[in-house]
Amino acid sequence: MEPVSLQDFVCALDPASLPRVLRVCSGVYFQGSIYEISGNECCLSTGDLIKVTHIRLQKVVCENPGTGQTMELAPNFQGAFSPLSSSQSYATLKELVSAVTRSAKKLPICFMSTHRITTEARVVPEDQPLMLEAVETHLGTHRARCVLHTGAQRVILCLPLSQKGPFQEWEPGAPRTLLCALQDPALRGLLFTCPTLPWRPLILRPQYEVQAIMHMRRTIVKIPSTLEVDVEDVTTSSQHVHFIQPLLLSEALARGGPFPLPTEILEVPEGPPIFLSPWAGSLRKGQRLCIYGPASPPWRVLVSTKGRKVPRHFLVSGAYQGKLRRRPREFPTAYDLLGALRPGQPLRVVATKDCEGEGVGNSGFTSLAVGDRLEVLRSGQAHGAQGRDIDVLVCQRLSDQAGEEEQECEEEAEDQEQILLPLYISGGFVEEMSDGRRYSLVDLTTQFSLPCEVKVVAKDTSHPADPLSSFPGLRLEEKITEPFLVVGLDSEPGVCFEIPPRWLDLTVVEAKGQRGHPAGSVPVATVELTDAFYYRLRKLPAFESQAPPPRPPKSPGLRGQNKASIKERGVKLSQVLELEQPPLLLRPKMKTLPQAARNSHMHRKVPAQKKGQRPIKPNTENLDDEHDYEEVLEHFQSTL
């Protein structure tokens, strides 16, 4: 096939013959660094191969061949188009008959006039189809016998060959829709007429969007058919060419298979790592990866360790088979008790610090000692020492008795002491718990609200190196529903793990080979997270309900004392700064000094006159002398 323009190739293309492989014979490059304009490919290099998979009609440009004017038609335009046999226009009927005779065509033929024809019998409107059946001679004059179809009638008209037009030959048949006129190969390149358009005749120029696959392109390439590039059809000679199309893990998850899918890693997303597991370092370019399908169940639990200075963070799969036991929760402040309070779930705690009730006023709060037992009932408000309403927790003091005696005390709960616990109390509390059951991760997340304190009492037997069993305590923070993919590495055949495409979207390419699920292989149920990724997870919308509470409010009494002390320190500081200023910074006015200082200066005693010396008179004429300033300032400092 000879090279043709992309527009001509697409217009002559039969959609049923797709896909077709094209070679770019003359590339095109738009000046500048823009690689795509409006989502379309605008840069093709000479020698590139493109595999056309689909074409879509975008619009049709309608052109007047006489004036060059254009207008755009939508693909769903509803007008009817009649094709003309050629673009030739004939001035008289004689010229039309002569052209038909020279082309060896046989009568009858169909034609139309672009102007109105007036005869003795009737008036033929413009663009009205006529059929020329024969040429007759009547009284020495040559006439054309024409047939005019008007509904069910057939009218015979005899027009002289000298009848002026212009006339144009057209193809008989029913009018076509816009799509049919463009898709019929026999009508390609012909002129058309349409009663709903202002021009007769007109040219139809379709513009298509070519969707194709290119080597090492992850997405479908969209090329406008009007791109000035020449192509050559090489479908027959390129059967051996394999177009490598990259694929994201998220795309493999969205299309749902087929699985297992052997792949090779082409690109790893940039950024800090998210996992600390040993297999995380194997996810690099060139590594072969087999995707086995979506993980089940699709939910995970975010877990942090307890009892160490630097906590570690894990993402635990819902398929975790270890056994866990609940641990009592610790609450450093009364405000944390409010966050743990749930309707219908009793909350009993034991005080771990002494709390004094001083400065609370009539809040109803009494001192707490280490070991005091409380049951938190609800939240409320009470009047503080300064008449302000403060937020409190309504609690009930429990006795120190246990067992049967405690049950009897609970029956007399109405007679027990109720206290109000202000939220700004910073005492420590620990949850009172007597639950010794062993739970699975599924039971814990369904029966109790998170966060929850637990300890692993039996490790997951499917993974002997279960890291969770080595910690004295764990905090189940949040349940996350996120699809994961089960994958395996060729370099480690016995290990399967799970990757979240949303957070680690690798770019892969399908590789040759078939792999099934390894015998007895179970995906790793626990993966350790980096600190940076852990805090990134905490910013997700799923954690909005678990946002850290604000700092508890301070005591009203302490707040007032702090304000008074700050004000007093500010006054003292300003006085000290005034005393420490150098004399040159003072304004040259004695009235700027305190009144006591001026009085002490005016009434100070004159030094005693020594024998043989003239009397020293005080200089009261010029009080702005620099020497006087020094004396006044020194006297003022000694006075203070």
Q: Is the dihedral of CA 229, 230, 235, 239 positive or negative?
A: negative
Q: Is 152 exposed, middle or buried (0-12, 13-18, 19+ CB in 10 A)?
A: exposed
Q: Name the nearest CA neighbour of 113 among 182, 61, 159.
A: 159
CA distance 117 to 398: 113
Please answer whether residues 390 and 556 qualify as being in contact, where contact means their C-beta atoms are separated by less than 8 angstroms.
yes
HEC per residue, 274-326: CECCHHHHHCCCCCEEEEEEECCCCEEEEEEEECCCCCCEEEEECCCCCEEEE
Strand order in the sheet with 141-150: 90-92, 164-169, 109-113, 130-138, 141-150, 153-160
**SS3 (DSSP) at 380:** strand
| Residue 607 resides in a domain | no
pLDDT at 574: 52
Q: What is the pLDDT of the chain when averaged over all its residues?
A: 76
Q: Is the dihedral of CA 86, 88, 89, 93 positive or negative?
A: negative
Q: Token digits for 143?
A: 């006439």
Query: Does 126 lie in the same domain as 60?
Result: no
Query: Does 110 lie in the same domain as 25?
Result: no
| Residue 155 resides in a domain | yes
Quickly state the pLDDT bin for 602 (edges 50, 70, 90).
very low
Q: Which of 169, 186, 209 is the last residue of a domain?
A: 169
The secondary structure of 166-192 as a DSSP string is EEEEB--S--B-HHHHHH-GGGTT--E
Q: Name the nearest CA neighbour of 508 among 483, 489, 525.
A: 489
Query: Does 56 lie in the same domain as 24?
Result: yes
Taking residue 143's Cβ as centre, other Cβ atoms within 10 Å add up to 19
pLDDT at 208: 92
| Residue 181 resides in a domain | no
Bond prior to 108 in cis (omega within 30° of 0): yes
pLDDT at 489: 84
**SS3 (DSSP) at 443:** helix
The secondary structure of 384-411 as a DSSP string is -TTS-EEEEEEEEEEPS--THHHHHHHH
End-to-end CA distance of the chain: 110
- For the segment 546-551, the average pLDDT, to the nearest whole number, is 50
pLDDT at residue 73 is higher than 60: yes
pLDDT at 542: 57
pLDDT at 387: 66
What are 375-421's pLDDT values in tens digits?
A: 888 888 777 666 677 788 888 888 775 544 455 545 555 556 778 88
Quickly state the pLDDT bin for 27 (edges 50, 70, 90).
low
Bond prior to 269 in cis (omega within 30° of 0): no
pLDDT at 369: 82
pLDDT at residue 326 is higher than 50: yes
Among 82-96, 297-311, 541-555, the least confident range? 541-555
Query: Does 425 lie in the same domain as 334?
Result: yes
Query: Does 75 lie in the same domain as 31?
Result: yes
Query: Does 158 lie in the same domain as 106?
Result: yes
pLDDT at 29: 54
What are 214-263's pLDDT values in tens digits?
A: 887 777 888 888 888 888 998 888 888 888 778 889 988 988 878 888 88
Domain count of the fold of the chain: 3
Query: Does 100 lie in the same domain as 51?
Result: no
| Residue 528 resides in a domain | no
Percentage with pLDDT > 90 across the chain? 4
Q: What is the DSSP letter of 355?
A: B
pLDDT at 60: 92
Quickly state the pLDDT bin for 608 (edges 50, 70, 90).
very low
Backbone φ and ψ for 133, nearest 5 degrees, come out as: -90, -40
Among 55-64, 86-95, 426-435, 587-596, the least confident range? 587-596
pLDDT at residue 598 is higher than 60: no
**139 vs 487, more confident:** 487
Query: Does 351 lie in the same domain as 202?
Result: no
CA distance 537 to 153: 81
Residue that the structure tokens 């790793």 belong to: 524
CA distance 555 to 424: 6
What are 558-595's pLDDT values in tens digits?
A: 555 555 555 555 555 455 445 444 444 344 444 444 44
Q: Token digits for 625?
A: 């002398």
Quickly state the pLDDT bin for 197 (edges 50, 70, 90).
confident
Helix 626-639 × helix 595-602 angle, to 10°? 110
| Residue 545 resides in a domain | no
pLDDT at 89: 78
Please answer whether residues 413 and 396 qualify as being in contact, where contact means their C-beta atoms are separated by less than 8 angstroms.
yes
pLDDT at 267: 86
CA distance 382 to 163: 109
| Residue 273 resides in a domain | no
CA distance 52 to 44: 14
- For the segment 1-24, the average pLDDT, to the nearest whole number, is 87
pLDDT at residue 209 is higher than 70: yes
CA distance 255 to 276: 29
pLDDT at 229: 85
| Residue 513 resides in a domain | no
| Residue 368 resides in a domain | yes
Among 87-101, 145-159, 468-482, 613-627, the least confident range? 613-627
Query: Does 386 lie in the same domain as 368?
Result: yes
Tell me the HSE value of 595 on the side-chain side, using a 13 A CA sphere.
0
Give the CATH number, domain containing residue 355: 2.30.30.40
Domain interval for residue 94: 85-169
Within 8 A by CB and 6+ apart from 329, the residues are 340, 430, 431, 452, 453
Query: Does 358 lie in the same domain as 234?
Result: no
Query: Does 52 lie in the same domain as 143?
Result: no
pLDDT at 207: 92
- C-alpha of 494 from chain center: 36
Query: Does 204 lie in the same domain as 123?
Result: no
Percentage with pLDDT > 70 across the chain? 74
**SS3 (DSSP) at 60:** strand
Q: Is the dihedral of CA 498, 502, 503, 509 positive or negative?
A: positive
